[in-house]
Amino acid sequence: VYLLRLQYNIIRFGSLMWFRRSKDYGLPQDLSGKVIIVTGGTSGIGLSTVRLLAERKATVIIACRDTKKGLVVLSEMQAKSNMALDIKVMELKLNKLASVQCFAEQFLALNMPLHVLINNAGIVNTCYVESEDRLEEMFAVNHLGHFYLTVLLLEKLRESSRARVVHVSSAIHKIWGDLDTLDLAKPCEISGLKKTFDYYGRSKLCNILFSTELAQRLQGCSVSSNALHPGAVNTNIGLEHTNRLMRVLVAPIRLFMQHPDQGANTSIYCAISTEVEGVSGQYFENCHSKVPAKSAKDSSRARQLWDVSCDLIADRLQVDMAWAKQIGS
């Protein structure tokens, strides 16, 4: 029953998006001089985001866990393009906080500006998987790794003119109820489609809470923070730890989903549109500001999530995160 309801909702939404014509929402065609990091830029929405931004002459950093795949993707993009694309590939394993720290150090050593950080990478696991830091992996990758990356690069973003942080969340955040931050470090039982989407929804709820809390803490500075739902997009997300039966059940749904280029529209809109200049703390769907679930607007829970995220990083890496707790205070 749960699967049938999910199929119906995704097919209905996907069908609407399939026939909706794309528009030019104040997107500049020339991004020369702009430096943009896209996490998870080797497939799906991330790959489309990288290509579409690079074709507008931005310098794009693909932050990915498999640099060999990243270089292959880069070569393929360049071969298909009629212009030179300024794209760099750097290793970032979001399920390992030490890798996040290493990436940030290596990027900062390049002495480049950073105008946009797109926290795009995401995973869906249909069973319980632990990250390198002994945390439930969907939470670790989809939220905590991006949280640490963002705070490590925040000063660089502040130095750049009107910088933006874009968080790719999901409408599935509405599945999870109130967030209990005390449970985030605990193992959990994930089996079956319902539990899979419950805990994926939890991680996506964290994305929105983090985005709004970051916007709150950055009030008065030129860095904005917004979250978005990309739509129902035909990507490989969720297939890595999915059994054969689940792949068969999900296959019909994929036929009605958007192409990744369509799914990247709202990410690009939030990243570069003149219509979003100065807008912060919002949640977007289909390039329009929408109201997220009530649980995603809980400012008290957002502050708790920020502090718990700092505590988890401090504990796993044995580093001082007091400075991150003080951001915006």
In a domain, 67, yes or no: yes
Residue 258's pLDDT is 54
Q: Check residue 176 and give left, alpha or beta (phi > 0: left; psi -120 to 50: alpha).
A: beta
What's the pTM? 0.88
Task: Give the domain CATH number at 81.
Answer: 3.40.50.720
Quick: pLDDT tens for 118-133: 999 999 999 999 999 9
Among 8, 9, 1, 58, which Cα is nearest to 32's? 58
Note the pLDDT tens digit of each residue in 26-84: 999 999 999 999 999 999 899 999 999 999 999 999 999 999 999 999 999 999 999 99
Q: Which of 2, 128, 148, 200 is catalytic?
A: 200
Q: Is the pLDDT of residue 143 over 50?
A: yes
Tally the domains of the chain: 1
Amino acid 329: pLDDT: 81
What is residue 17's predicted lDDT score, i.e. its pLDDT?
Answer: 44
- Sorting pLDDT into bands at 50, 70 and 90, what band is 285? very high
Q: How confident is the model at residue 177 (pLDDT cuts 50, 70, 90)?
A: confident
On whether residue 43 sits in a domain, the answer given is yes
Asked whether residue 52 is domain-assigned, the answer is yes
Contact 49, 63 (CB under 8 A): no
Strand partners, 61: 37, 88
Higher model confidence: residue 5 or residue 16?
5
Q: What is the mean pLDDT of the chain?
A: 88
Instruction: pLDDT band for 248, please (50, 70, 90 cuts).
Output: low
Beta-bridge partners for 87:
60
Q: Is residue 164 part of a domain?
A: yes
- What is the Cα 157 distance to its own chain's centre? 17
Residue 1 has pLDDT above 60, yes or no: no
Residue 236 in this model has a pLDDT that exceeds 80: no
pLDDT confidence tier of residue 111, bands split at 50, 70 and 90: very high
Q: Output 237 or 210, whichever has higher pLDDT.
A: 210
Q: 1 lies in a domain?
A: no
pLDDT value, residue 252 = 53
200 tagged catalytic:
yes
Choose the weakest-confidence range: 99-103, 142-146, 161-165.
161-165
**Separation of alpha carbons 184 and 178, rounded Å:** 12
Which one, of 123, 168, 153, 172, lies nearest residue 268 by Cα?
168
Q: Going by DSSP bridges, is the β-strand pair 116-119/87-91 parallel, antiparallel, or unpaired? A: unpaired
- Tell me if 21 is assigned to some domain: no
**Is residue 13 one of the residues assigned to a domain?**
no
Query: Residue 187 — pLDDT band, cuts 50, 70, 90?
Result: very high
User: What are the φ and ψ backbone dihedral angles of 280, each rounded to 5 degrees?
Assistant: -150, 150
Alpha-carbon span 107 to 326, nearest angstrom:
23
Overall average pLDDT of the 269-291 stretch = 96
Helices (DSSP H) in the chain: which residue ranges? 2-19, 44-54, 67-80, 97-109, 137-139, 146-159, 192-217, 244-254, 260-263, 265-272, 299-317, 322-325
Question: Within a domain: residue 124?
Answer: yes
Residues of the domain holding 279: 34-326
With 0-12 / 13-18 / 19 or more C-beta atoms within 10 angstroms meaning exposed / middle / buried, residue 251 is exposed
CB atoms within 10 A of CB 248: 9
Asked if pLDDT for residue 257 goes beyond 70, the answer is: no
Contact assessment for residue 260 and residue 48, using Cβ atoms and an 8 Å cutoff: yes
Confidence of residue 13 (pLDDT cuts 50, 70, 90): very low
Instruction: Take residue 12 and report the two structure tokens written for it.
Output: 């209905």
Nearest Cα neighbor of 202 from 178, 185, 233, 186 is 178
Q: What percent of the chain is predicted at pLDDT more than 90?
A: 76
